[in-house]
Amino acid sequence: MCGIVGYIGTQKASPILINGLIRLEYRGYDSAGISTIEKYGISIMKDKGRVKNLYNINGIEQLEGNIGIAHTRWATHGKPSKENSHPHMDNSKTFSVVHNGIIENYNELKKFLSDNGYHFYSQTDTEIIPNLVHYYYSKDNNNDDLKFLRAFKNACNKLIGSFAIEIICKDYPNNMLVVRKDSPLVIGKGENENYISSDIPAILSFTRNFYLLNDFEFVLLSRTDAKFYDKNLEPINKNTQTIEWNTASAEKEGFEDYMLKEIFEQPNAIRETIGAKFNENSKCEFDELNFSKDFLSDFNKIFIIGCGTAMHAGLAGKNAIEKLCKINTEVDIASEFRYRAPLVNEHTLCIFISQSGETADTIAALKLCKEKGAKTIAISNVIGSSITREADYSIYTHAGPEIAVASTKAYTSQVVLLVILAIYFAEILEINTNELSLLKKEILKLPKKIEDTLDLSSRIRDFSKTVYQEKDIFFLGRGIDETVAKEGSLKLKEISYIHSESYAAGELKHGPIALIENGVTVVGIMTDPKLVEKTISNLQEVITRGAKTFVITNQQVDNSMFDFIVYIPETSPFISPILSIIPLQLFSYYISKEKGLDVDKPRNLAKSVTVE
């Protein structure tokens, strides 16, 4: 959701900026723009629509400047239009700014600036920022090296909301300033050049050395240097961190789309996430945790919180923690949790799941739990992301960069990590020890079983061709399979735009069955031996009413009554979602392809939802 790129160095900035924006396209956007410092002053080129439209703007090829800022906008305040696109300048055309996030007090600041003679030409909250900087700049009579920084700091200290901001100034042609608060931004360090980006993958081909910023840290960038200051402009020391992801991991590597590539990367993502946390004969260990029995025994309640797919992974975590550790566990959607006065205290453990680590609602829920005295664990795929810096403890999935908006390998990696976490807790609490060693053996077999499941790809593609024109598709399951039904249904709506619902199979008779008529497709997931027969009965009820059925199972069932069935490898129900979701990921993918849609960048969606 909105993307920021910046460059300050010795090369021509504009191609680097546009290339960076293309790599951030997956975040979701509706307009794009760049601004560079040229010999004649600041240039801005922007428009609504795709990043590649920037190449059609007259004069873009002639830009020579080697300092610049760039932005993809996902409209919040004001419709997508050229005027509302970033960058935005102040009235005197001294400053140019790009901004991610939302300035909540912008009306008040706009009024203040209007009263002081400033005019506004867009409907955005962002346009107040360059003007507010100009306001403080024009009041400062001390023309030293830090005047630009002082004005920027004074303006930012007035902002309420979330922001990641880059700003350039025509009077300081060798500098750029950035700051962040509750919105992602990283700085990549090169040789005599610095890169700025919302996300690591966009600049991974230039550098692996990154500075990760905390809230309200101001950065004064030159070509050779990055100086850091706190909100009072006291200097701060900061070291770079090396990111292990390789450049190829952010490329398509011969696959038609990122999503297909990421589906096929799951054996490795799971292997990497299991890592060295245990082997068949050893106990689970998390280098980052080191919990004791006393520490864990103190919790009488666990919350698992996330949004979208991450929340669905949390449901598999709840199943494992409650059954293996006997601790009452609740899963909630972050945007609901944060406003429902949750009963959280110092005896509550709160686990936050976020692939990106930047989802605004998840971060807000985390802050709320900390205020209430709970202990917090973040699960993220991105080292140094915001939730990992807020939480008391952080553990990581090692799925590698996930670029497609629809999450696949991050989900399965989150599920396996949560189950391993549950085993780790149970071992410390000394519960269920026999069951745990069997489960660990099953987890170690997962990469191979995922590979076998991926072999179903061409059969699923052929079946998808028969249903891609459907208007509604329903997903049913019981127990752990219901959690997969939810995720399968979400995947389908995200990328195929087919209306889809998921239901606990037992709920069918309490309403949803009224929607079943001749030809409607119903997907049934049945992997829990204890519940298979019950789900079959529910499927029979829809078949009787004319439904077409697609079944995913690892049990020997009479297949004659179903229209299409795929058998996946048998495994423990704790980790079955990791296998049973794969046919559904492929199903959604192939339907989307058959419909000719943009699989990686579905309409209206953003990979990283950094506003609430």
Q: Where does this chain bind ligand G6P (CB under 6 A)? A: 306-310, 354-356, 359, 362, 405-407, 605, 607-609
* Nearest CB to ligand G6P, comparing residues 488 and 573: 488
Long-range CB pairs of 120-123 (<8 Å, 24+ gap) are: 121/83, 122/78, 122/83, 122/84, 122/88, 123/77, 123/78, 123/79, 123/83, 123/84
Q: Pairing mode, if any, of strands 548-553 and 564-567?
A: parallel
CB 168 within 8 A of CB 89: no
Q: Which of 2, 156, 284, 350 is catalytic?
A: 2
Looking at beta carbons only, is 410 or 566 nearer to ligand G6P?
A: 410
- Distance (Å) of CA 213 to CA 163, 210, 517: 12, 9, 55
Examine the residue annotation and report whether 252 is marked as an active-site residue of this protein: no
Contacts of 330 (CB under 8 A, 6+ apart): 301, 302, 303, 304, 318
- Distance separating alpha carbons of residues 594 and 492, to the nearest angstrom: 13
Q: How far is the CB of 238 from ligand G6P (least distance, A)?
A: 25
Cα–Cα distance, 485 to 580 (Å, whole number): 9
The one-character DSSP state at 235 is E
- To ligand G6P, the closest distance from the beta carbon of 128 in angstroms equals 28
Minimum distance, C-beta of residue 589 to ligand G6P, in the bound complex (Å):
14
CA distance 489 to 512: 15
Nearest-angstrom CA–CA distance, 286 and 294: 17
Quick check: is 2 catalytic?
Answer: yes
The 3-state DSSP class for residue 343 equals coil
Residue with smaller CB distance to ligand G6P, 397 or 538: 397
- Of the pair 357, 524, the CB lying nearest ligand G6P is at 357
**Cβ proximity to ligand G6P, 308 vs 479, nearer residue:** 308
Residue with tokens 């599920």: 415
Question: Angle of helix 308-325 relative to helix 409-429, nearest 10 degrees?
Answer: 20
At its nearest, how many Å lie between ligand G6P and the CB of residue 184? 10
Which listed residue (261, 375, 548, 607) is catalytic?
A: 607
Shortest approach of ligand G6P to residue 385 CB, angstroms? 9
Residues 6+ apart with CB under 8 A from 312: 411, 483, 486, 487, 490
To the nearest whole angstrom, how small is the minimum distance from the Cβ of residue 314 to ligand G6P? Answer: 10
Give the residue with the Cβ less far from ligand G6P, 176 or 310: 310
φ, ψ at 346 (rounded to 5°): -70, -10
The residues assigned a catalytic role are 2, 607
